[in-house]
Amino acid sequence: MSLPAEFHEIAKRVNNWGRWGEDDERGTLNLITDAVVREAVATVRTGRRTALALPLRQGGVQSGFIPGRIDPLHTMVQINQEMFGPGAVATSDDTVTMGLQAATHWDALTHVSHSGRIYNGRPADTITAHTGARFSSIATVGHLVSRGVLLDVARARGVDRLAGGHAVTPEDLDAAEEFGGVRVRAGDIVLVRTGQVRVVLAGDRHAYGHPSPGLSVRTPEWFHARDVAAVANDTLTFEVFPPEIEGLWMPVHALHLVEMGMLQGQNWDLEALSTACAEEGRYAFLLTAAPEPFAGATGSPVAPVAVL
Amino acid sequence: MSLPAEFHEIAKRVNNWGRWGEDDERGTLNLITDAVVREAVATVRTGRRTALALPLRQGGVQSGFIPGRIDPLHTMVQINQEMFGPGAVATSDDTVTMGLQAATHWDALTHVSHSGRIYNGRPADTITAHTGARFSSIATVGHLVSRGVLLDVARARGVDRLAGGHAVTPEDLDAAEEFGGVRVRAGDIVLVRTGQVRVVLAGDRHAYGHPSPGLSVRTPEWFHARDVAAVANDTLTFEVFPPEIEGLWMPVHALHLVEMGMLQGQNWDLEALSTACAEEGRYAFLLTAAPEPFAGATGSPVAPVAVL
Amino acid sequence: MSLPAEFHEIAKRVNNWGRWGEDDERGTLNLITDAVVREAVATVRTGRRTALALPLRQGGVQSGFIPGRIDPLHTMVQINQEMFGPGAVATSDDTVTMGLQAATHWDALTHVSHSGRIYNGRPADTITAHTGARFSSIATVGHLVSRGVLLDVARARGVDRLAGGHAVTPEDLDAAEEFGGVRVRAGDIVLVRTGQVRVVLAGDRHAYGHPSPGLSVRTPEWFHARDVAAVANDTLTFEVFPPEIEGLWMPVHALHLVEMGMLQGQNWDLEALSTACAEEGRYAFLLTAAPEPFAGATGSPVAPVAVL
Amino acid sequence: MSLPAEFHEIAKRVNNWGRWGEDDERGTLNLITDAVVREAVATVRTGRRTALALPLRQGGVQSGFIPGRIDPLHTMVQINQEMFGPGAVATSDDTVTMGLQAATHWDALTHVSHSGRIYNGRPADTITAHTGARFSSIATVGHLVSRGVLLDVARARGVDRLAGGHAVTPEDLDAAEEFGGVRVRAGDIVLVRTGQVRVVLAGDRHAYGHPSPGLSVRTPEWFHARDVAAVANDTLTFEVFPPEIEGLWMPVHALHLVEMGMLQGQNWDLEALSTACAEEGRYAFLLTAAPEPFAGATGSPVAPVAVL
């Protein structure tokens, strides 16, 4: 089995290898210039803030389907411990074990590979158990602040949530832009709302993952044309699931991460933001979403904040 | 043994219990209003960004002194795994186990207690192994964006790094304000630079923790007078170590977290920010520093970003 | 709510506090003398061995019902890593994160408490997040070799598996002794087979835990009369679930661990041993089942082996 | 760089590939027959037992030199938690994260590879992050009971501990046999005592690993000639460190695990056993040492027990 011709044709059209030099590890993050950040800051009017991360806890998003991608296990290693004797100031400390992609997260560019390659044409076997990803790990992201744009596809279509299996198309993105009175431009971080996260917020983590609305294999060209810096949405699978083309699994991941070198985010809770944007009548804002700099990691939890 | 009278007198002067209601769990974060955020945004001129987190990895900050506060252990659970058959798109996934206070982090208000109490007078035994902190866990913070001010005490004194055991006093803070041409005000997040992180950046994690420069027990009153929202610095211990008053360990933790209800950050890497502020001649900026929302946790790693 | 009078009456009859001294932490393990071990060794005839542990892996016994008691997460940290240069001998290394009671395990005496007490009348608050169990942790067990006796209640009743909710009574134990032609005596480790583990071996971890056959609240007196050293069975819950007396949860745990100071084992796979004993016509054997000596732990995985 | 001719010559002489069939995954464990076990049982006279595992805890054997091979981190997830309401029976539960080779352990045959091969000639790339070791994982060991023989090289030479860098030779093994009045035979598990574990028991984990006494590259032929089933000792490195032949690292590992298919154990505490054997004047005993059956793992903690 190999990837179908259709995939390779799209790949050719969106490929960014070499665009920022042979040594580049950051892909479309290069599009976030100081000027873009100044414009992002200029979108702020009221100072209203919305947090976009799901709580990190057992009984979260994961259903056990992906071995190793475990929900956060939080444990206390000190509880009001009087380290310096009775009556002294007491401390509490904790630890966590978790899959880095378990809840609200960014995929690093190295989260997927195809045909033995990762972003910028490097060999996939530069990812090892010993060091993790030698190139394009999540730690190469560093700061991540830009203009955010909410494309509220669900609200634009007048529904709380798109149906399972709904492939979000370029036409859906156009319509959401029009609905929001906003135009996506170079360096933006685009948040695509499907409403699917409502399933897991209502307590059904098994139904959350499949079937799921998600991005169509046709959308990477749209993001490429707009020179978007990163895309996140409110689903487990990011792209529509089951997939549009039988036997072609995770094509959007491969196009975004490997071909374009564009960060992807999943399990973002866009519900409160949807309300805020609707109330304010504005769909662009300052977005801050730096991943935790895990050395060698292919993903990281993130606690994004939108400032309107 | 109990805490000395001197401690209790300061405690009385800085206490914020009840100030934001009996049910409050967020303390001085209440000082970050929409107006404060608008002013924070207004400080941005160039759009230059600086990341303030140390890398998360084995061989990091921890020396084994505090059992359980282990450096991040990053492991790959999938490496270029062709989950959907040979030739398909391949995925890499990872996990981490770590002490939540292991590297660059925020202490939640519940990280310390004294005399059986946590912030707002709640009983300390509301922290359990089963649920962690029932009140004032790090998950109650949510978004965290405000004006940041760098008080570069080391640079103001013309040194790379304050000597081990140097207690940073209110007079040091005043001098750093004057040096930076900035005045700390309500809702600000104050970053106090001692330069101590250079020790661990140079590879000596054992010398990093002790002796260490850090905040004097006299500084909480300064922060209280200015109505600061949160304070972070570039040391392991936050306050001066060994302590100023023999036998009185961690008084600043107890005053900030328990009495004032003010977040504290440790192990922040302020070196690049020091350079940036010096180059730009400005010591106030937009700071974004949301912790990861670990349910019940008494701390969290954070990846702060300053935007100048 | 407090424990019913019926519980306290049984507790009085089986209590071993002080029997092996005020300082004792090992309870009925004191019954395993050198003479008992010599007799255990004398039961061996063929040298046939049977392993009794379930595999340790994701997708194991745990269904997520008990937060924190997570299935083992095994990760590779080195894979054929040529640490000493290309062409050198290469190493592979791994780590695990798991609940200590997740699969085949021993409960330490401190796994439960009631009325604020653990075994030998010590206060329950000697278990802390900082040190775990200060007394009677699993590390106090050390070696564990004795005569094992299989009481094959299922086979004695002519079934593959007892029905969910079947409470194994003293009469069931008597009948299994008679069926096996064996008499339980002081220092023995008794393995009670219900056949329930077949449910999880068949892949249904949700049905495994409830309803479940298990020991009746009447059996601790039987074990006490025989001066048994430890008891293990092939269920998740050990005792019958739902419980026999409404509102009285885990009475057998409390009687065995707290009152008698007797180790309990759960999730033991007794299927192959049942076949072996039936084929050999012998139900007593040499049993070796030392827990891993986790300092301060209230339980441990174990890999028991029966030698016939 | 490749392995020197000298290595390949020894490898040829001790190689067991195909000896127990092309499909074999257990190597020299095949030598432990029922008859060997009956003879092992027959060595028991007094029933005296000795546990050989070091405690599992932070501040244990590991010094941070091998990333990922972390000391056990034990955490409580429940402490006297009244799951079924106030006054009910209360439970305590715990978790652990650890390197599987962190303390007293067995290396699985797959712990090392050389020239792209593991035991029985299988390709080394059958070990993956996804499944761990597909063949010869530690889970293939199952039960492990045999005759144990202590070769107390330190005591035979009249010292508490061999000098760092002392290579234990075949002549040392012969002398220890003579000293103990015992002859190693097929299927035995041989324990070689150097006394080095005294260094870590005395608290110096840094000095424990290097320099270290350990097995010479000449000993695998001795073990092969005797058809030993497994070998363990009381050092971190197992073989002498630094190595005997410059630039040839871990040759004994490669010969034992890859060529012979023979299990190796490290960090066994043989101090109490040394005393017991000396007191009893017997150096052969029943040894039980089943690893925990971690699926896909290349090693496991073990809690061995010797019965004299």
Q: Which residues pair with B190 in a beta bridge?
A: B149, B231
How many angstroms separate the CA of residue B65 from the nearest CA in chain D? 9
Q: Which chains touch D (3 or more CB pairs under 8 A)?
A: A, B, C
Q: Which of A89, A144, A304 sits opposite B253 (nearest CB)?
A: A89
- C 99-118 → D contacts, CB under 8 A: 99-101, 110-114
Whether residue D220 has a cis bond before it, omega within 30° of 0: no
Structure tokens that stand for A172 in this block: 């859906």
pLDDT at A120: 98
* Percent helix, strand and coil across chain A, each to the nearest 5: 30, 25, 45
Helix or strand holding residue A174 (H, E): helix A170-180
pLDDT at C98: 97
| Contact of D94 with C99, CB cutoff 8 Å | yes
- Measured distance CA(A55)–CA(A61) in Å, rounded: 10
pLDDT at B66: 83
Does any CB of chain C come closer than 8 Å to the CB of residue A281? no
pLDDT band at C67 (very low <50, low <70, confident <90, very high): confident
State in Å, rounded, how far the first CA of chain D is from the last one.
48
pLDDT at D92: 97
pLDDT at D67: 78
Q: Which chains touch B (3 or more CB pairs under 8 A)?
A: A, C, D
Q: Which chains touch A (3 or more CB pairs under 8 A)?
A: B, C, D
Q: Which of D51, D57, D292 sits opposite C301 (nearest CB)?
A: D292
pLDDT at C107: 98
pLDDT in tens, C27-64: 999 999 999 999 999 999 999 999 999 999 998 999 88
| Contact of C61 with C267, CB cutoff 8 Å | yes
Contacts of B244 (CB under 8 A, 6+ apart): B167, B216, B217
For residue C189, pLDDT over 60 is answered with: yes
Q: Which residues pair with B300 in a beta bridge?
A: B106
Strand, coil or helix: what is D222? helix
Helix or strand holding residue B39 (H, E): helix B34-42
Q: Are strands C145-151 and C189-192 parallel, antiparallel or unpaired?
A: parallel
Q: What integer is the mean pLDDT of A69-93?
A: 94
pLDDT at B30: 98
Q: Is the Cβ pair C129, A70 closer than 8 Å?
A: no
pLDDT in tens, A181-198: 999 999 999 999 999 999
| Count of structural domains within chain A | 1
Q: How many CA atoms lie within 13 A of B139 on its CB side?
A: 16
pLDDT at A187: 98
Distance of CA A97 to the CA centre of its chain: 21
Task: State the complex-level ipTM.
Answer: 0.97
Of A2-6, B263-267, D96-100, give the lowest mean pLDDT range: A2-6
Q: Which residues pair with C284 in a beta bridge?
A: C149
Length of chain B: 308
pLDDT at B65: 78
How many angstroms separate the CA of residue D109 from the nearest CA in chain B? 21
The DSSP symbol for C12 reads H
Of A138-142, B251-255, C60-64, C125-129, give the lowest mean pLDDT range: C60-64
pLDDT in tens, D185-198: 999 999 999 999 99
Best C65, C70, C73, C77 residue to mutate vs chain A (most A CBs within 10 Å): C73
Mean per-residue pLDDT of chain D? 97
pLDDT at C2: 81
Does the pTM exceed 0.90? yes
Domain that holds residue A14: 5-67+100-307
For residue C87, being part of any structural domain is answered with: no
Q: What integer is the mean pLDDT of B272-288?
A: 98
For residue A42, pLDDT over 60 is answered with: yes
Q: Which of C46, C76, C89 sits opposite D34 (nearest CB)?
A: C46
Q: What integer is the mean pLDDT of D277-299?
A: 98
pLDDT in tens, D129-162: 999 999 999 999 999 999 999 999 999 999 999 9
Q: Which of D38, D72, D294 sits opposite C44 (nearest CB)?
A: D38
Q: Report the CATH number at residue B121.
A: 3.50.30.50
| Number of cross-chain residue pairs from A and C with Cβ atoms under 8 Å apart | 45
- Measured distance CA(C85)–CA(D1) in Å, rounded: 8
- Measured distance CA(D291)–CA(D101) in Å, rounded: 11
Distance of CA C122 to the CA centre of its chain: 22
pLDDT in tens, D232-248: 999 999 999 999 998 89
Residues of chain B found within 8 Å of residue A128, distances taken between Cβ atoms:
76, 79
- Measured distance CA(C287)–CA(C190) in Å, rounded: 10
Q: Which of A49, A288, A292 sits opposite B56 (nearest CB)?
A: A292
For residue B107, being part of any structural domain is answered with: yes
A200-231 CB burial, b ≥16 within 10 A, e <16: beeeebeebbeebbbbbbbbbebbbebbbbbb
Q: What integer is the mean pLDDT of B89-118?
A: 97
Q: Is the Cβ pair B73, D76 closer than 8 Å?
A: no
Whether residue A211 has a cis bond before it, omega within 30° of 0: yes
Residue of chain A whose Cα is closest to the Cα of D77: A75
Question: CA-CA distances (angstroms) from residue A169 to A151, A172, A175, A219?
Answer: 12, 5, 10, 6
pLDDT at A67: 78
Percent share of chain A, pLDDT over 90: 94
Residue with tokens 């002294």: A88
pLDDT band at C249 (very low <50, low <70, confident <90, very high): very high
pLDDT band at D1 (very low <50, low <70, confident <90, very high): low
How many angstroms separate the CA of residue C68 from the nearest CA in chain B? 9
Q: Which of A79, A95, A129 sits opposite D73 (nearest CB)?
A: A95
Q: Is the Cβ pair D68, B81 closer than 8 Å?
A: no
Closest CA to C155 of C135, C137, C133, C178: C178
- Measured distance CA(B181)–CA(B223) in Å, rounded: 18
pLDDT at B1: 57
- Measured distance CA(B166)–CA(B168) in Å, rounded: 6
Residues of chain B found within 8 Å of residue C97, distances taken between Cβ atoms:
95, 97
Task: Give all strands (DSSP E) within B171-215, no chain letters.
Answer: 189-193, 214-215
Does any CB of chain A come closer than 8 Å to the CB of residue C76? yes
Closest CA to D189 of D21, D43, D11: D43
Give the DSSP per-residue string, B255-274. IIIIII--EEEES---HHHH
For residue B282, being part of any structural domain is answered with: yes
Does any CB of chain D come closer than 8 Å to the CB of residue B81? yes
Strand, coil or helix: what is B287? strand
For residue B178, being part of any structural domain is answered with: yes
CA dihedral A99, A102, A104, A105 (to 10 degrees): 50
What is chain D's alpha carbon radius of gyration, rounded to the nearest angstrom? 20
Q: Is the Cβ pair D95, A77 closer than 8 Å?
A: no
Contacts of A215 (CB under 8 A, 6+ apart): A167, A168, A192, A231, A233, A238, A239, A240, A252
Distance of CA A253 to the CA centre of its chain: 11
Does any CB of chain C come closer than 8 Å to the CB of residue B295? no
pLDDT in tens, C252-285: 999 999 999 999 999 999 999 999 999 999 999 9
Contacts of D176 (CB under 8 A, 6+ apart): D151, D152, D153, D156, D192
For residue A110, pLDDT over 80 is answered with: yes
The angle, 0 to 180 degrees and rounded to 10, between the axes of the packed helices C219-226 and C170-180 is 50
Structure tokens that stand for A53 in this block: 């991360």
| Number of cross-chain residue pairs from B and D with Cβ atoms under 8 Å apart | 47
Best C264, C292, C300, C305 residue to mutate vs chain D (most D CBs within 10 Å): C292
The DSSP symbol for B2 reads -
- Measured distance CA(A75)–CA(B127) in Å, rounded: 12
Q: What integer is the mean pLDDT of A5-21?
A: 97
pLDDT band at C1 (very low <50, low <70, confident <90, very high): low
pLDDT at B64: 80
Q: What own/partner pairs with CB < 8 Å and gap ≥ 24 does B200-204 have?
A: B200/B54, B200/B61, B200/B236, B201/B269, B201/B271
Q: What integer is the mean pLDDT of C188-209?
A: 96
- Measured distance CA(C19)–CA(C25) in Å, rounded: 11
- Measured distance CA(B170)–CA(B173) in Å, rounded: 5
Closest CA to B97 of C59, D102, C69, C75: C75
Residues of chain B found within 8 Å of residue A76, distances taken between Cβ atoms:
127-129, 132, 298
Closest CA to D36 of D228, D261, D243: D228
Does any CB of chain D come closer than 8 Å to the CB of residue B58? yes
- Measured distance CA(A196)–CA(C257) in Å, rounded: 47
pLDDT band at A1 (very low <50, low <70, confident <90, very high): low
pLDDT at C63: 84
